[in-house]
Amino acid sequence: MKKICLSLVCLVIALPVCAQDMNMSDIDREARSAGSKSIMFRRSAEAEMMRRAQEEAEAKAKAEAQAQARSQAAAQAKQKTQMKRAQPAYRPYNLFGNGWKVAATVNGEMVSNKDLQERANLFALTTGIQINEKNKKMVAERVLQNTIDEKIKIQEAERQNISVSEEDIREAYRNFERSNGVPAGKFASVLKQYQVSQEVFLLQIKANLLWNKLTSRRLGMNVDVSGREVDDEFSRIKKDMDTPKYMVSEIVIKRKDADHIDELVDVLRHDPRFELYAAQFSQAASAPSGGKLGWVEPGQLAQPLDVAIKGLKEGQVSNAILYRNEYHILKMDKIYNPQKDRGDMPTEEEVRNFIKNRKTDELANKYIRDLRNRAVVEKKF
């Protein structure tokens, strides 16, 4: 090893040129042109080639990325344009006429046709049910009844000296935005698109908050569940667990209001929101609970309805069945077979809460019915 190193030193000393006389670029060029096999020059050339290749690859990748970004942006812009063309701005269906006139009075308080039209637009927005020739009569009746109930609830709260703060209303408004995935403050523009004033929406929120306070005060002390009620409910549950039955929902429309009942059936067979339609349009006592009748045993319903139910599979909707001057549309939610579906008995707490919730719903429904019966309502259209 020492001998090799000494030879290299002698070789360097013997070179006839000085360092300052060397031109490295000339040497590099000569070495490249001569196809030098020197490891030093070969590595230098390869490194340069690799550097240039890498730069070219990076430039190419950058150009491709920019081209792809431009293509994606163009595609997104095209899609937005197509969506905008496919979804034109909402145009309200005129249910309550033009101009300004009194449509109804509730205990002397006026309701204008403009109030009703804005609530009809809000109905379309919040339910997703578009108003048309086939359902306009049902929608008009529902919007009018909702508006009357709103007035009644606010009037009753005033009579009972119950109020809610503006902050409570605003907080409920913000909660509505959050629960529906709407950025804070953006729902106002949606209301504007549907031609609904923010005041109308806030008034509905106020009426709901007041009603919650009214029912809590009126019903809170009246909903007691006795041990006897719990025992009776357990007995009923044990019997039910041994009996075949159906979980059924219903929509009931009076014959005089059923001009388009078959079209409603067709909608219900393609739209899974049966409960929504029941809550909005059904004229039965079950409407507030989405039309749910609960568990029904064979033979429990009237004969025409019982026959229709037995022919349904889970998830199916029946034809409109005329019974005692009313049309009934039934949905089979679930079929219970005790031989394979038998489950565990509920706990006492679950049974007690079930009874309490049922009694609360019954008392709340009775409360609003009593207020409606006492109210002086005059419809003017």
- The pLDDT, as a whole number, for residue 236 is 86
Q: What is the pLDDT of residues 156-182, one digit of tens each?
A: 999 999 999 999 999 999 999 998 888
- The pLDDT, as a whole number, for residue 277 is 94
Q: Is the confidence at residue 325, as pLDDT, over 90? A: yes
- The pLDDT, as a whole number, for residue 83 is 39
Looking at the whole model, is its pTM more than 0.85? no
Between CA 330 and CA 365 the distance in angstroms is: 22
User: Which is more confident, 306 or 40?
Assistant: 306
What number is the average pLDDT over the span 286-296?
Answer: 89
- 3-state secondary structure at position 196: coil
Query: What percent of the chain is predicted at pLDDT more than 90?
Result: 50
- The pLDDT, as a whole number, for residue 78 is 54
Between CA 371 and CA 373 the distance in angstroms is: 5
Between CA 274 and CA 222 the distance in angstroms is: 32
Mean of the per-residue pLDDT values for the chain?
82
Q: What are the C-alpha distances in Å from 251 to residues 222, 254, 289?
A: 30, 10, 11
Q: Is the confidence at residue 199, as pLDDT, over 60? A: yes
- The pLDDT, as a whole number, for residue 279 is 92
Question: 165-179, 193-207, 355-369: lowest mean pLDDT where?
Answer: 355-369
Helices (H) and strands (E) in the chain, counts: 14, 7
- The pLDDT, as a whole number, for residue 18 is 39
- Please report which helix (H) or strand (E) contains residue 355, including its range: helix 348-374
Written as six digits, the tokens of 70 are 């431009």
- The pLDDT, as a whole number, for residue 167 is 95
What number is the average pLDDT over the span 207-228?
Answer: 87
What number is the average pLDDT over the span 217-233?
Answer: 84
Q: What is the pLDDT of residues 15-55, one digit of tens each?
A: 333 334 444 444 344 434 444 444 433 444 555 566 666 77
- The pLDDT, as a whole number, for residue 88 is 56
Query: What percent of the chain is predicted at pLDDT more than 70?
Result: 78
